[in-house]
Structure 1
Amino acid sequence: MAVAWIGNRETLVEHAAAHAAALLWSSRCPVFSFDTDIHGTRAAIALAERVGAAYDHADGAALARETALFTDKGAMTVAPGETRRRADVVVIVGELPKIHHDFVGELADTTPDLSARNEREFFLVGSNGTPAPPLVNGRTATLLSCGQVSLGATLAALRAQYRGRQTSQSVSNFDDFAKALTAARFPVFLFSGHATEGLALEMLQGLIADLNRKSRASGLHLPASENGWGSVLASTWMTGFPLRTGFARGFPEFDPWRYDVARMIAAGEADLHLRISTTIVRPQKKRNRLALIALAKTKEPVAGAAVTIAIGEAGVEHEAVVYSSRTGSLRSVDAQAASELPSAATIIRLVANNVSAEAALSC
């Protein structure tokens, strides 16, 4: 089975890696985008440092909003385990990614040890069409809404009503919410950057801060991408900065606008794109002659790619270390169906060894 291609021509992995290294070495503005495990992330960042590349998550917009909350505003958060054990009022803020629906269902199927009534109450902040994660036993979350206005506007109205101020439009079911907060011992707000604008995340933290003036409340960050948030953490401990960092001047620089890889490609600023993801890259309209190196789970060359190398899926075809939103930390994952496909980290290291043999990768 072929696993590497230069253009549309099958080749050995070693030859494809050498060709990819030559493209990287000759590039004037390379950019990396990846959706991989911790090992793959560390190898990609070390390679980016060597070739002076900027890097971002493959779908970085939601993660950038979440990162901005912590780097610019700050947040009061709690661990997932503490939420399962303590939270007696759970407020779902906006649409959560499907990967977290099982966790919400688990909250609905368990009881907190701080509840006076030995049960949890659920609320959903959003518009009338905001999908709610399914709850067990036919339970539903009470909707807190201002019609079809944005989530940020609804949170602003909710915060204003809680402070006893007038609003142009009242939040539905606010009295039930206020009553639940009065009796609550530990309310927790579940939030993600998945379908939430940055200002809404800031407004939510303002509401949580208001609640803590008289009682206590906290938020639980459920990331838009578990792999992505793992990459944010790995980037931070390696360089001091989260994703959207670049090495153009030989040292790490964090700039969430300048190093937005999708923006750089659309603006024609990059001349080479290394994409690392098990999903297939969709060809996109390019404003310049952008070379593409694709590391993906594929049986055929990616359309338009100068180099394609097939990789296995982390935690499925090879062992991996990944971020777990269930524990709020990293965990090791055994291969579910081991295959001969190499890991992303293995291929990136092979490419790096062809870029320069002076030293091993720093990670």
Structure 2
Amino acid sequence: MLRSLGARLLRLVPVLFLVSLGTFFLVDLVPGDPAVAILGSNATPEQYEAVRAELGLNESVVTRYFDWLGDTLRGDLGESLTPPTQSVTDLIQSRLPVTIQIATMAMLISVTVSIVLALAAAYRPGKVFDRVTSGTAFAAIAVPQFLTGLLLIFFVLFHTDLVRWFVLVAGIAGAVLIAVRAVGGVTDHPPGNERVRAAAIRAVLALAVVGFAVLLFARFPEFPRQGFTRISEDGLWPSLRDAFLPALTLAVAEIAIFMRLLRNDLITTLQEDYILSARAKGMPPWRILVRDALRPSSFSLITVAGVALGRLMGGTVIVETIFNLPGMGTLIVNAIGAQDVRVIQSSVLVIAVFYVLVNLLVDLSYSQLDPRLRRGRV
């Protein structure tokens, strides 16, 4: 395990080097003069030249790159170019936790909801639930993130009562459907232990759905329109509440993608011989789905989720702007407007390194899901 980890870390070195090259040179090619951004348009040519000399802009691009890379490896990201000047490291340290929290919450929501929906849809493919979730997934993928955020703000913040009643009615309707299936499962077939147990589970699930809907109707959370509460300030719950709508905005499209991907893999896995053998032995459906089919079907989901987490880090630019959040997205947007090259380079590099490390963790997780990889058989 350690040997494999060391080999993968060594392979990351050239990748991170190429990332640093791309970050520096692409930003360096952006039109505009940082000296003008710092001093404004009314300074003298001598003042512009003095600022360029102080920033090293008169040196060759190769020299500037290696100077920047050496300072970055030492943890010195320099000072921001536009007033009020601040340490770029301090700026990123204050903004990065917000972006990571929103992206992580969005990923947790996406994976959790998509697994539940995919299991239910794959259990009876082609039925009503499968068709409804598939159609809804296609619609969710087609809606851009900024429109999703605006719709959530419109309904959740400005029409809260409508959302509360919708949740209550939907919860009661879902519970009734589950209860009807539970009764039908007992009356339509000769009674047996497994059928009675399945009916009892559906009855408990129906009660849980009704209870959750009633709880949300009675005590629907009050979400802020904008702003963010850090975990270190007022505790965990206010921070999770403030980040929920932005995270949900990012998660809607990812839920649709993950659900469709996992559903298709589950349907294929459920046709395998060992699954058919488990069904012939009378194993409960929930055990077959969760313990036997879900694990081998999750490779594609994990791969796409790893790529999506990096995409979510970049996708927070729009969401943070809509909800006015102090994250990396707004930091990069403001730095681009001010032509603050140092902030842009450092912020993009941090996000790129985070993306590379996440994909390394995804690669390492394969061996934990499939024992054959640990033994070197595939």
User: How high is the TM-score relative to the length of structure 1?
Assistant: 0.28
Q: Which has a greater percent of helix?
A: 2
User: How high is the TM-score relative to the length of structure 2?
Assistant: 0.27
Q: Which has a greater percent of strand?
A: 1
Q: Which has the larger radius of gyration?
A: 2
